[in-house]
Amino acid sequence: MPVSRILLLGDICGQPGRQAIQLCLPGLRQRLDVHFVIANGENAAAGYGITPRLADELFASGVDCITTGDHAFDRKESWSFYGTEARILRPLNLPAEAPGRGNAVYETPAGPIGVINLLGRVFMKPVDCPFHRVLEVLEELKAVTPVVIIDFHAEATAEKEALGWHLAGKVSAVIGTHTHVQTADEQILADSTAYITDAGMCGAFDSVLGMKKELSLRRIIEAVPVRLAVANGDVRINGVLVEVDAATGRALTITRIQEPVVVNGAAESTEPE
């Protein structure tokens, strides 16, 4: 039975997260015998958005597909990049006029893989319904490949779980991103679809969700709009490894990944990169 081994990495937060990917992903790919790597890169640029240069750095480090979320367009220089680089996706359920696309099929050593990027609506900005939009493209992708992976970038656990059950038996995996905290609920739904509420974060864990603690505390305690900056202590890589039957698209296993990383350098500036 041909098996596709897919690694999905949680939100890459700033320079420490990018540096961790550069240092560790090549070895991680080899050790885990990974065929395809999906990484959420919407916080790659100092915690807010992504730039073409930083996306190219992630591709050079071994990332095959970059997904995003509510910060997809925070960096204006990336807008046209979404329309020209097929390896970066923005959420499918953004308006049709938004730059780029929300789904694609990629060739891998284990066969083609479909990827769909979706954005949640609960406690998030108003967008089209992800539950409806995903069904509009799903059959098109499954006509090309039975292996389809969903990155659902959402805030609410209930909304993520609901989408998991909505797509159980229809896709290979529904992987949650956005909250930067890896959950312990990895499972196979309906004997077919790998699921986890959140894959976690690639970044500094001596922090509040990857950002400096003192700034986060001031923002909460004093209620002032402090600009947050990326932290740099206790850097780790979080994600999940999913094994999929490449012939049927049925998920076989899902395993959480937690890798400590030693990186050098101070936390980055909040200035645009």
Residues marked as catalytic: 71
**Residues sharing a CB contact under 8 Å with residue 164, sequence separation 6 or more, in sequence order:** 174, 189, 193, 195
Beta strands 65-67 and 235-245: pairing type? unpaired
Cβ atoms < 10 Å from Cβ of 56: 13
Our measurement of the distance from residue 27's CA atom to the centroid of its chain's CA atoms, rounded to an integer in Å, reads 20
User: Using N-to-C axis directions, what is the helix angle for 130-142 and 157-166, rounded to 10°?
Assistant: 40
Q: Number of helices (H) and strands (E) in the chain: give both, helices first.
A: 6, 13
Beta strands 251-260 and 235-245: pairing type? antiparallel
Strand partners, 200: none
CA gap 140, 29 in Å, rounded: 29
Contact 228, 204 (CB under 8 A): no
User: Using N-to-C axis directions, what is the helix angle for 14-32 and 52-61, rounded to 10°?
Assistant: 30
- CA-to-CA dists, residue 251 to 163, 165, 167, 198, 203, angstroms: 16, 14, 13, 17, 28
Our measurement of the distance from residue 151's CA atom to the centroid of its chain's CA atoms, rounded to an integer in Å, reads 6
